[in-house]
């Protein structure tokens, strides 16, 4: 059962509806789900197909993604399901929003994932005007989160998520959880329209510390949620201290949230490599 005093929404990060069913059967709740091209490429049906040497045509792959997302949405009717547009370094904002408009029609509870790049932020501005809910992905810096805040100004609370990827920062020796802490702190000066969705969670401690920081949402792979659930969903006490080991703390930057997003330095190498990897995993499925 979902702990009664849990404020943070818990999303499942994955592309396999079977896993979502298992989580519902085991624990009785899933507050939402996030997908991405790499997770879709790991979907058991997609993998079996690839093993048979049967790649998808572009339209078959989109139909397949739509089918997966529809299954998820039916299991989580009250929650949100994030669907990611295809984007590589050459994809324009117009092409992203075109895909986003189409994907947003797939299910009633979609958030459209756009990359936190200049084109992604332009697409975010258009999405908000169109009333399309969004999840800004591949966020690795406080300046990128500040840019998301401005690009989505005026959106309704609940319509905008920003997804900082903690595990990938840890992978290069930086403390990803300190970025969550910093963005939450920075957003406290704002109007609350953008919610922090802790992503790229790899461990039980990522999850527990994100709860302690009061991240609005956490998306985690099933194994991390299972570990937490099997322990009885404990919540962190005041004495919880995150074992950051040798990871380098990212210092808090004093950023004026009133600045235009175009004034921020939104470049980050992990955004670029992340975008390329998502595109490659998607393209690999296509004939
Ligand atoms: O939520 C984003 C997530 O799927 C990325 O996780 O482990 O590939 O960094 P990871």
pLDDT digits (tens, 9 = 90+) for 200-224: 999 999 999 999 999 999 999 999 9
Mean pLDDT across 13-32: 98
User: Which ligand 1 atom is the nearest neighbour of the CA of 221?
Assistant: 4
Mean pLDDT across 190-194: 97
Q: What is the pLDDT of residue 4?
A: 87
The answer to whether the pTM exceeds 0.95 is yes
pLDDT digits (tens, 9 = 90+) for 87-133: 999 999 999 999 999 999 999 999 999 999 999 999 999 999 999 99
Would residue 113 show up in a list of annotated catalytic residues for this protein? yes
Domain boundaries defined on the chain:
9-283
**Cα of 23 to ligand 1 centre, how many Å?**
19
Q: What is the pLDDT of residue 59?
A: 97
**Cα of 200 to ligand 1 centre, how many Å?**
4
pLDDT digits (tens, 9 = 90+) for 125-151: 999 999 999 999 999 999 999 999 999
Contacts of 190 (CB under 8 A, 6+ apart): 149, 257
Higher model confidence: residue 4 or residue 182? 182
What's the angle, vertex CA 98, arms to CA 95 and CA 99, rounded to 5? 90
> Could you confirm whether domain 9-283 is CATH 3.20.20.70?
yes
Active-site residue, selected from the candidate residues 7, 42, 113, 231: 113
**Cα of 78 to ligand 1 centre, how many Å?**
23
Q: Given pLDDT bands bounded at 50, 70 and 90, which one contains residue 1?
A: confident
pLDDT digits (tens, 9 = 90+) for 70-90: 999 999 999 999 999 999 999
pLDDT digits (tens, 9 = 90+) for 273-285: 999 999 999 999 9
Q: Given pLDDT bands bounded at 50, 70 and 90, which one contains residue 13?
A: very high
Residue whose CB lies within 8 A of the most ligand 1 atoms, among 38, 83, 136, for a mutation test: 38
């Amino acid at each position: 059962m979902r702990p009664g005093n849990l404020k943070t929404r818990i999303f499942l990060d994955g592309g396999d509806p079977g896993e979502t069913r298992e989580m519902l059967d085991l624990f009785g709740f899933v507050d939402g789900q996030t997908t991405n091209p790499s997770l879709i490429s790991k979907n058991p049906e997609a993998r079996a197909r690839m093993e048979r040497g049967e790649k998808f045509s572009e339209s078959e792959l989109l139909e397949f993604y739509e089918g997966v997302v529809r299954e998820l949405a039916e299991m989580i009717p009250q929650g949100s399901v994030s669907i990611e547009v295809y984007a590589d370094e050459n994809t324009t904002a117009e092409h992203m929003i075109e895909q986003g408009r189409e994907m947003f029609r797939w299910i009633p509870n979609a958030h459209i994932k756009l990359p936190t790049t200049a084109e992604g932020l332009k697409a975010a501005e258009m999405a908000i005007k169109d009333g399309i809910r969004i999840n800004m992905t591949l966020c690795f810096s406080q300046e990128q989160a500040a840019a998301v805040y401005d690009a989505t100004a005026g959106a309704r609370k609940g319509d905008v998520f920003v997804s900082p990827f903690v595990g990938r920062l840890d992978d290069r020796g930086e403390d990803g959880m300190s970025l969550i802490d910093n963005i939450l702190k920075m957003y406290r000066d704002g109007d609350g329209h953008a919610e922090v969705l802790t992503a790229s969670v790899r461990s039980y401690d990522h999850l527990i510390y994100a709860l302690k920081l009061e991240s609005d949402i956490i998306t985690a792979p099933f194994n991390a949620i299972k570990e937490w659930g099997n322990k009885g969903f404990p919540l962190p006490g005041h004495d919880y201290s995150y074992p950051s080991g040798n990871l380098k703390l990212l210092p808090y930057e004093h950023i004026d949230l009133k600045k235009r997003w175009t004034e921020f330095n939104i470049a980050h190498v992990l955004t670029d490599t992340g975008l390329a990897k998502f595109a490659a995993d998607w393209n690999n499925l296509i004939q």
